[in-house]
Structures are given as C-alpha cells and as structure tokens.
Amino acid sequence: MINPEVQQTSRVGVLAVVGVGLIGGSFAAALRKAGAVDRVLGVGRTPGPLAQARRLGLIDEVATLAQAAEQADLIFLATPVGTFPAVLEGLLPSLKPATVITDGGSTKADVVQAAYGVLGSRAG
C-alpha cells in the first residue's frame, strides 16, 4: 500500500503494463491513485481485457510491445513468467536506453535468466 503522507520524489511519465489482468491492473491503479504516473499504456494478446482495462480507467491506451518499448519510461511485466523471453524479445528492438523493466512474476530465477538471455548487458 502506498502511504499518501510520503512525499513523492519521482514520477513515471509513461508506464507500460504488459498484461493488464489482476496484477498488472492493480499496479497501474496504485500508481495512478498515488498520482505517480502521467500516462499508462496497456499491452496484451487479446482485446477483451485491454478494453475492460480502458473502461475501468486503468490504462489510457492500448499499445503493441514495440510502441510500449518506444514510449515507456517504466515497463511492468505481468504475464506468466514463461512468456517473459518472448515479451523481452518483442521489446528489445525498440527499447529506449533508460527504460526500466520490472515484473510481478512469482519467481525471480527464471526472470533473471530470461532477462540476461534476451537483454544481455542491458539487464541488471
């Protein structure tokens, strides 16, 4: 839970959430509620959850992986951990140098392995 009494020292200009289900949607909602994000992009495989996330105000617009990589300052991966290599490969060609990628995955060993496998020296 974000403490509203804590002075905010930084903002996320553009957040991209890859997977706007319960975990990704909750992450976006928490940052929006805290006033810590300017714009939220939603990335997903099927239009239904993306449309619902937009109706609920969790995301501002739908984006592809390439569009998210080109625009986002922070990318939150909220898809099954097994999809991370493919997601990272989709992000890599357009990824801005200073973009931070983080995740809500249930395990970290697989995530770190996927990150170094796809992103190489950019991971870490």
Domain boundaries, the chain: 16-104
How much is the pTM? Answer: 0.88
CATH number of this structure's domain 16-104: 3.40.50.720
Tell me the torsion sign for CA atoms 41, 92, 81, 3: negative
Largest CA distance in the chain: 40
Per-residue pLDDT of the chain (124 residues; tens, 9 = 90+): 555 555 555 899 999 999 999 999 999 999 999 999 999 999 999 999 999 999 999 999 999 999 999 999 999 999 999 999 999 999 999 999 999 999 998 888 888 899 999 998 888 7
